Structure 1
């Protein structure tokens, strides 16, 4: 693939002609699902594949990720998907996919139950289409061959507490006193984690001891069953979420960037628990934003002491095989919000900064492409530190400079899916206008 558009970018960009030659040598046309063959082959033998997205609101990122996932399930035996979503919500999807609950609902009806802002992350047309296919794939297969769907995130403090209490009432009523104590501690804050977090800035009293005591109790009582009892595993994971969510919100509201590390360690630990629970033959896909999936050591995050899921999975599971896949695009539109908690909008994405990875890919290739990186990543492009665009759920197109992360592409990913022009996701429903102000749950945005 030459990507010849009549332009001569070789002399106009960092790295010059050598960088352009490297890009062209790596790039393969990306027109249909069969063009993913080199990436599928690269993934052969890997137990973990982290598949990113450069925004949470782009149709093409979701579409290509779903197409790749289908091939990995059908051809490479992948058995579970972990996403940047809440554990309780995704556990309901997991049970629906396995035919264990909500059989009367279709995928759109199931996803309509997502309430945490921004709901469009998972309640969108692309995910609904994929889940409908995955349910059919699972139908008729024994449980051990079915594909699961799980939430890796840390936000669901109250929902997870409710799930723990419901399980204890039926299975371990002797632990209810510990659960009630934790619930009573959080009750004054009316299910508002920010209200709880801000209160801890004013007085030294927190609910940490109560929720940790609950975690210890649930680990002890559910842990012995969790190997074969799915409900016990669910209860144990909800206890992990509750304990880490309490810490996350308490640290985040103080402006401590370590809240990022708490969250990504929680997600990486959840990946480990899922892999252990599903057995040594299981193979997992992780769907998250590039900012979580791309190895933090190849960005300026490392300078600030931040880690992420991609780095942690590589460090912990290199012997099992790990592949990190990023996405990038030049321009188009994106579904996002002008402020945290606001209704979604289809916003324009302007042409990428010319000196960024995206700007150079556009100039050199000029068309959609798949780039699978070689073992040697010290080349003039793969080894260069250049800006790489990241769009969050809050986006202001007029302030593009703040959306670029210094990145060494060859260290951050093992492959990149490049798209010239992208379009906004189609949500299943619109975000309601909040009755009260919403507070950002990301420690720093993107």
Structure 2
């Protein structure tokens, strides 16, 4: 394509960008977006990195308004169920009320702790607890983890529940525990062992799941039963995930995102048919995979699955993006975090086009008509995981058709790094790197 032809196409795209963009300088500028997505039962809010202040702060600001003005009843995040269940108990006024939000979050130990143990999340949780305590128990907003990594913590919790409420089921439960015991609570050791011999703990952990499901039929009304049932689901999902991950099987991505979408369904069911939920995850999970190159690789994600399952209930997918600044990340998996300079976006990317067209923060709501040059053009869209290598910055772009991937995009010209509550320590339980690139 000639440079003149390329410039003409880009000019048409920039004209469409300017026509739908609205300035974003204060919380009141979210008015239109709140009204637009407020009727959806599921609102998924993304982030272009796990280490950017503006993504976390404005996602929290939008969430506060959707809770207070549109009746959102629960939040599901890209975090472990056991850790977030403790947060859920705290924000709803049930447990550990002597702690501050900062003290509660410093209890996170699984790498990378900064994803949730940061000042931005602490400020939001402190606000959420105060909001909840001013309301009746049935009107308090829950906070839940959607992810699949907490194999041992979840296994331990499910077995403890059976010990207390169904001791006759302990033999089945202990078979699963004994199967995993030789691996010293190291999922990598367990997963690697399944590559050498055909035996695995799959049958034992599935038997545990079936037993817990059978014993927690009242899980929709009983808190501890609901927690036990979900931990059993996590244990079974984690066992499946780690076996696929260690084989280098890209199906592990689908296992993880199906688990997160299934967890969203269970939370929504528990909260009732009239409940409304927020989902906080990376853009690679929130933005519909069918509008990216993930689809050609056979990958699905949470945004796609929620749209497919709940279109009739109302689904809104909101992405975040930025042009330049700083970001918090690690050089390698399990390494300490650093603040990195984030260079200006690649010249052929959506971010570069938005920078040229706008030059200031904005909300871009796509509306029902997704035609037009920008919304239908496939360009690179920057995505940074918990691992970042500045020397490979040019590879951090996902080919994306914006009009299919999101319903709204929140844009920033310059972003700054997240504020962790403490520096990263060597993880006690190293995890296999998620695919791709720690999203």
Instruction: Place the TM-score, normalised by the shorter chain, in its bin.
Output: over 0.9
Task: Report the secondary structure of 2:219's partner residue.
Answer: coil
Deviations 1:224-246 (CA, angstroms, capped at 9, x unpaired): 21121011000000000000100
Q: Tell me the TM-score normalised to structure 2 length.
A: 0.97
Aligned residue for 1:78?
72
Deviations 1:346-378 (CA, angstroms, capped at 9, x unpaired): 011100012100000001101111100021112
Q: How does 1:206-221 map to 2 (within 5 A)?
A: 206-221=200-215
Q: Tell me the TM-score normalised to structure 1 length.
A: 0.96
Per the alignment, do residues 14 and 180 of structure 1 end up closer, same or farther by CA in structure 2, a change over 3 Å counting?
farther
Per the alignment, do residues 191 and 26 of structure 1 end up closer, same or farther by CA in structure 2, a change over 3 Å counting?
same
Count of aligned residue pairs for this structure pair = 436
Aligned residue for 1:442?
434
Residue 363 (1) aligns with residue 356 (2): yes
Aligned residue for 1:398?
391
> Which runs of 5 or more structure 1 residues have no equivalent in the other structure?
1-8
Q: Extract structure 1 runs of 4+ deviating beyond 6 A.
A: 9-12
Aligned residue for 2:36?
42
Aligned residue for 1:346?
339
Aligned residue for 1:170?
164
User: C-alpha distance in 1, partners of 2:426/2:324?
Assistant: 28
Deviations 1:303-340 (CA, angstroms, capped at 9, x unpaired): 00000000000000000000000000000000000000
Aligned residue for 2:414?
421
Residue 282 (1) aligns with residue 263 (2): no
Task: Report the secondary structure of 1:382's partner residue.
Answer: helix
Contact 1:14 1:355 in 2 (8 A): no
Question: Deviation at 1:12?
Answer: 6.3
More off after superposition, 424-433 vs 302-311: 424-433
Residue 22 (1) aligns with residue 16 (2): yes
Alpha-carbon RMSD across the aligned residues, in angstroms, is 1.4
Contact 1:255 1:443 in 2 (8 A): no
Q: How does 1:110-121 map to 2 (within 5 A)?
A: 110-121=104-115
Residue 98 (1) aligns with residue 131 (2): no
Contact 1:244 1:266 in 2 (8 A): yes
Contact 1:10 1:20 in 2 (8 A): no
User: C-alpha distance in 2, partners of 1:20/1:182?
Assistant: 57
Question: Deviation at 1:398?
Answer: 1.6
Residue 140 (1) aligns with residue 124 (2): no
Q: How does 1:299-378 map to 2 (within 5 A)?
A: 299-378=292-371
User: C-alpha distance in 1, partners of 2:428/2:245?
Assistant: 23
Aligned residue for 1:195?
189
Contact 1:355 1:387 in 2 (8 A): yes
Deviations 1:85-142 (CA, angstroms, capped at 9, x unpaired): 0000000000011111101101001001101100000000000000000000000311
Per the alignment, do residues 402 and 440 of structure 1 end up closer, same or farther by CA in structure 2, a change over 3 Å counting?
farther
